[in-house]
Amino acid sequence: MSQIRLVLADRDTMFLEKFSAYLLKNKTPVFSLVLFSNDKKLEEWLRLGEKADIIVISSALYNDIAEKFDTDNLVLLRDCPESMMPEGIISIYKYRPANYLMKEIISLCAEKIPQDFDTGMDLCKINLVLYADGSDVLNPFAQSLAAIKADSGLKILYISLDEISNTDDYFTGNNQRGLSEMLYYVKSQKENLSLKAEACTTLDMDTGVYFMKGHHDTRDIAGLSEYELSALIMSVNKKSAYEEVIITRGFKNDSLLPVLIKSAHRIYITALNYFTSVNRIKKINNILHEFENKNNMVLKDRVVFCITNVVTDPKAMCPDLDYDIKYLSSPMHGNNLSFQTTGRYYSEIKEISENYKQ
């Protein structure tokens, strides 16, 4: 995989040591570091015509450099009084968590980094979860699937494409950027979207799931084109970044559905076992069958219907489908919905996931 060559200069050797150790440990993206704690050594390096993708310098050290240089890929770490900050140079506050600093630097400089980060054929697996009846309120299948896969040791990314996202109800993180910002980059056709995507993800410490925070405006998703959706998927499906990606939304027979189906290794269609939900499942079964005929594709080995039992005697309403069907216990505990990594509902999703590995 390509590396980002990053110069890091600061007299604070403890900061240099800790931040550089974090960057070297990070695998997405991969950094090649050049470290300086002395302004004279940095000036000498620059005079020799050496180049880097990103140059990150503490503002205090930068002020002591006699001969200033091109600021196109320069980021200053603010560690001096505001009155001493040079004008016209991008800067971020230095004393923040390493993960935050890394994502800020990547976001600011992604378009100035060589473009080969968006190329490559080693792709991860895409899991598509479609809700047949909008039942994710009582049926957190996609969120549970993400937690299960993360618990198995895989690096998992979760993205909800619902117009009204509930991602932030299940996962929390400290990154202010999320899907809204990523959709802006996609719609603006920014370069190096894979790095932009990295800057827009955050880690949920409770489940180990990486995710993009829910978008702010329903129109961001409603106006998404097939090209933009493809660009979004391509930005996150490099195996060097994530081993599997889970994309979820309510089922819609729209222009985005073929893009999602064609990109997915496994397609989970989930619903409750209410009479109206089962009728929708039958219609979706027919839509998928028509899709196979129209696109000369075979989906039988990729599609599984997962029906969560919330009413008694589900077999009395068992639909006749062209694809596999699995039943799940209700995730309800008493009168409360519980998003837990234990219980029958969770263990049954885990069993389905393991049985349908590719």
List CB contacts of 97: < 8 A, sequence separation 6 or more.
174
Which pLDDT score is estimated for 129? 97
Alpha helix (H) ranges present in 122-274?
A: 141-151, 167-170, 179-187, 193-199, 218-222, 226-236, 257-263
Determine the Cα–Cα distance for residues 158 and 304; give it in Å rounded to an integer: 19
Cα 124–Cα 129–Cα 133 angle in degrees, nearest 5: 170
Amino acid identity, position 260: L
3-113 topology per CATH: Rossmann fold (3.40.50)
CATH 3.40.50.10850 residue ranges in the chain? 3-113
Integer angstrom CA distances of residue 81 from 63, 64, 71, 86, 185: 12, 14, 20, 11, 33
Tell which CATH architecture fits domain 125-355: 3-Layer(aba) Sandwich (3.40)
Which pLDDT score is estimated for 313? 63
* pTM listed for this prediction: 0.83
Which pLDDT score is estimated for 314? 54
Which pLDDT score is estimated for 244? 94
User: Which 3 state secondary structure label does DSSP give 21?
Assistant: helix
pLDDT in tens, the chain (358 residues): 567 888 999 999 999 999 999 988 876 778 889 999 998 999 889 888 888 888 999 988 988 887 777 667 889 998 877 767 777 788 889 988 888 898 888 888 777 776 555 555 567 899 999 999 876 777 899 999 999 999 999 999 999 999 888 899 899 988 888 999 999 999 988 888 888 898 899 999 999 999 999 887 888 888 899 999 999 999 998 766 789 999 999 999 999 999 999 999 999 999 988 888 888 999 999 999 999 999 898 998 999 999 988 887 655 466 788 899 999 988 765 444 456 666 888 899 999 998 876 5
CATH 3.40.50.300 residue ranges in the chain? 125-355
Which pLDDT score is estimated for 337? 47
Closest listed residue to residue 276, CA positions, set 310, 324, 326, 299: 310
Enter the tokens of residue 358: 């590719």
Sheet holding 201-204, edge to edge: 201-204, 209-212, 156-160, 244-250, 125-131, 266-272, 303-308, 324-328
